[in-house]
Every structure is written in structure tokens, then in C-alpha cells.
Amino acid sequence: MREKLIKVDSHRMSNVEPFLREFIAECFQSLRKKHALSSPTVLFLDVLFENIQTVTSIKCLCQKANIDQKRLHQDFSRDMQRTPYRLLRELRVMAAMYLMCDPTRRNGTFSLNDLCQMLGYASYTPFRRAFHQTIGISPRSFLEHNEKMEMFRIFVERFHERERTKITNFRTQQYVPVKAGRPSKSMSIGTYLLVNHLLEYLRSSSFSQM
């Protein structure tokens, strides 16, 4: 079942900037450098990035880019080893993980239902489904997990890999930590630096005291 999308409140999503928007921009650049992309895919990525905070549906983005949706799905899946829906889902989950790690937003400033609306989901149920499909655990379990920042780092690395695998072993903590100071081969230097910038921010004194 496809995710039910609604219009995102741009004012509320602006709270995510500048870290997340810059981070997503680097993800887009990395994807474009890594893959030999067809014209429809390039156009779609450009439109998706420009409308990342207000996207209502893939169909709407295709109309903005003047791309045939069926052709886009074929070309995009071949180019990216993921569907347009999956890429959008991964970006939203990545945003959710970042926000749930952020101490200034965890401290009672918004609920999981608020987070759903910020990321464009009509309710908690489709958000939970998308999060679980991508990460392997529920948003609530992630929020309560002691290693959530390491999970965020690993997800970013997996995002840049071509493997079509889910991160399903966080529950038992059977994963290999990323070695400090050594970026993944599948990750651009810019993305690596941004991830570490985010992690340093999340590991600030305000976070450690919570």
C-alpha cells in the first residue's frame, strides 16, 4: 500500500533547517554523482528537492516536472535501484530520525503525531508503517533506544549503498558501529562531515543531561 501523503506545513518544517536541508542536499548530490541518471530521473530529483517540504504526491511532482509517471517509475527504478516512493520514504524517515534525536525537540515540544504532520503523513499509522519498513522497528522504539544516534549514522551510510536491504537488527543491537574518523566508501566526504556535524550537535551537553 502506498503511503498516504498530505501537504506539509512549510513553517513547521522550517524548524528542521539548516542542518537537515543541507544534509538532504548533500544526499541528492551524492546520488546524482554515483549513478548514471536518465533525464526523467534528474528532472524528478531536482523537483523533489525544491519541493521536499511541500510534496503532496509523486503524481504532483511528475506534473511539475512535466514527466510521464509511468516512464519515471521505470527509469528511476533502473537508475536508483529504488522507486520514487521509496526514496521519498527514506528521506522522511531520515528526517524523523534526526528530529527524534534532537534534544530541543524531544523535550516535550512535539508528539509523534505532530512529527507525522511535519513529515507529510496523514496519521501515525502510515508513518509507523513506513518507519518500520525502513528501519525494522517502530518510531516509538527508536525514540526510546539508547543507541539512536549510532542508528542514525548507520542509516545514512546504508542510504548511500546500493544494497536493497532493510536495517532489521537494531532491536538486538547486532550491528557493527561505524569507526570514528573513517568515512564509508559509499559515502561522500561532504555527507560524512555533515553526519558528524549532526552527531556532535546531538551529543551536546544539553542532550547528555536529558
| 145, 170 contact by CB (below 8 A) | yes
Cell of 178: 561505524
Q: Has this prediction a pTM greater than 0.85?
A: no
| pLDDT for residue 198 | 52
- Render pLDDT for 96-129 as a digit per residue (tens, 0 to 9): 887 787 655 554 566 788 788 777 777 889 889 9
Residue type, 158: R
Q: What is the mean pLDDT of residues 130-135?
A: 87
DSSP at 36: -
| pLDDT for residue 118 | 74
Cell of 185: 566508501
Domains and CATH numbers, the chain: 10-204 (1.10.10.60)
Percent of the chain exceeding pLDDT 70 equals 51
pLDDT band at 175 (very low <50, low <70, confident <90, very high): very low
Task: Reply yes or no on whether the pLDDT at 131 is more than 80.
Answer: yes
- Render pLDDT for 50-99 as a digit per residue (tens, 0 to 9): 777 667 788 888 888 889 999 988 888 888 778 888 888 888 888 788 77
Q: Could you give phi then psi for residue 5, rounded to 5 degrees?
A: -105, 145
Q: Could you give phi then psi for residue 141, rounded to 5 degrees?
A: -65, -40
Query: For all residues of the chain together, what is the average pLDDT?
Result: 67
Q: Could you give phi then psi for residue 121, rounded to 5 degrees?
A: -95, 145
